[in-house]
Amino acid sequence: MRRALGSVRAKAAVGATVVVALALIATGVAVLLVLRSHLQSQAGLQAEVQARNVAGQIATGTAFDQLDLPDGEDRPVVVTGDGGRVLAVGEDVRAVDGKRVGKGKAAEGSSKDGSDDGDDDGDDDGDSGRRLGPGEIDDHAVLRSGSADVGGKVADYRFASVEAKDSRGTSVTVVAGSALAPEEDAVASVRDAMLIGLPLLLVVVAGVTWLVTRRALRPVEGIRGEMAAITASTDLSRRVPVPSSQDEVGRLARTTNETLAALELSVERQRRFVADASHELRSPIASLRTQLEVAVAHPELLDMPGAVADTVRLQRLAADLLLLARLDAGERPSDARVDLAAMVREETSQRLTDRVPVRIAELAGGEVAGSRGQLARVLGNLLDNAQRHAAEWVRVSVVREGEWLALRVEDDGPGVPPDERERIFERFVRLDDARARDDDDDGGAGLGLAIARDVAVRHGGSLAVRTGSVFELRLPAAG
């Protein structure tokens, strides 16, 4: 149960339901307030029309005892004169706002001007401020809410007060009311409908959200299930299903497959690396063991130079493998400044015993940021590669190209075939694989160029074969 409530579907359904509930409650309250205000305005208008109708009769000279006053408890009318004396009152009207009224008597609690003491609710239309002449009616009415006792039944009303003068100039105030019971009933009906409909609507919203979210997340569950199966089987060649939609789930599936492909490639590369490293280590170790076993049995047959050569080869291979492991682990170079021209002079000055001479061409000034040891290792690997293929010379140069420094190593050898210019940077790849390693001690293990490219990439640069026999290392200039 806890797991179901903690699922994305449940959270989405609950969240959507809460949001819709808040929106509906706010909307319902606003609707009820607007409806109540509209109905009160309508009741006030009816009361004003009723008051003006009676005031019109008075202004035209109709006697107070002959006024046509509306009957019924829905429309009480009271006509008062000076001193609040009641001149006319509707049938069965006993009190207004708790103040008893009776024809020919002053209303209880009435003010001197004859108007009621009830509090104005803010809907006052104002006072014209002008004196009324005989037979005139004030253009403005005072609206308020109150209660009245009609026939022994007290109810709420909307009252309108209108000032007028009869034909003899007597000032009167006509107070007419319109019952608010219909308005209250209408508001109550709408409120009850909302209270009944809101829970049902929320249930529908929650159900629809649950179903829609479930359908939307079905591909995610498929991705999760396939990933679990891949983890259990360790078969990285499998891929998660990709939905046909172009939404976030589809992009997630495609990204997951790209990640699996990269992981598969990395694992395969690691397996190949381990297998090749084991093979490369087996030869010098076996050779060194054989020589040592022969030396134990026949000391006079010990090939000391061969044993030393095998040991040096084994040491170099171990150093290369260790550097590749550090690069694969994400080791980043330092931020030291390295002068490429000075590094070239220093490194080439230590290679006086090389098979072919190393010439220095143009050396442009400039520094790069990185590890001098790793960059010197790149230069050394490129020079070793050139020495293996050169006929009479090897040339090194440093050229400035905008924001880049290019270190180039070229030789007069046969060059690299175009279709092999990327393959030679793979690990343990040599173009002369058919040649036995034991017969060519200088051939290396096929790691030099792979290490050189990895170091170049870690320094934000690149290493490539520009022409058949020209290797170019490009690095961003420091500063």
Lowest mean pLDDT among 55-59, 185-189, 435-439: 435-439
- Whole-number pLDDT of residue 109: 46
Considering the segment(s) 332-476 as one domain, its CATH architecture is: 2-Layer Sandwich (3.30)
pLDDT at 111: 44
**Averaging pLDDT over each range in 104-108, 128-132, 237-241, 361-365, which range is the top one?**
361-365
Highest mean predicted confidence (pLDDT) among 60-74, 252-266, 356-370, 433-447:
356-370
Residue 13: what pLDDT? 83
- Please determine, for residue 5, whether its predicted confidence score (pLDDT) is greater than 50: no
Tokens of 380: 């050394």
Distances 317 to 321, 410, 449 between C-alpha atoms, Å: 6, 25, 13
CB 476 within 8 A of CB 403: yes
Q: What token pair was written down for 265?
A: 């490639």
Tell me the CA distances in angstroms from 54 to 14, 265, 398, one per residue in order: 59, 98, 111
| pLDDT at residue 142, rounded to an integer | 92
Hey, what's the torsion of the CAs at 409, 412, 413, 415, to 10 degrees?
Answer: 60
Residues constituting the chain: 479
Give the mean model confidence (pLDDT) for residues 261-280.
78
Angle between helical axes of 181-233 and 248-297 (0-180°, round to 10): 20
Instruction: Please list, residue by residue across 246-255, b when 16 or more beta carbons sit within 10 angstroms of its beta carbon and e when fewer do.
Output: eeebeebbee
Radius of gyration of the chain (CA): 51
* Mean pLDDT score across all residues of the chain: 82
Half-sphere exposure of 252 (CA within 13 A, CB side): 13
Alpha helices in 298-351 (DSSP H): 304-328, 340-348
Domain boundaries, the chain: 1-235, 249-315, 332-476
**Structural contact between residues 272 and 256, judged by C-beta atoms closer than 8 angstroms:** no
How confident is the model at residue 104, as a pLDDT? 58
Q: Phi and psi dihedrals of 112, rounded to 5?
A: -60, -40
Sequence-distant (≥ 6) Cβ neighbours of residue 24 within 8 angstroms: 194, 198, 201, 202
Q: Give pLDDT, residue 442.
A: 46
pLDDT tens sequence across 96-144: 888 888 765 555 544 444 444 444 454 444 445 568 888 888 888 999 9
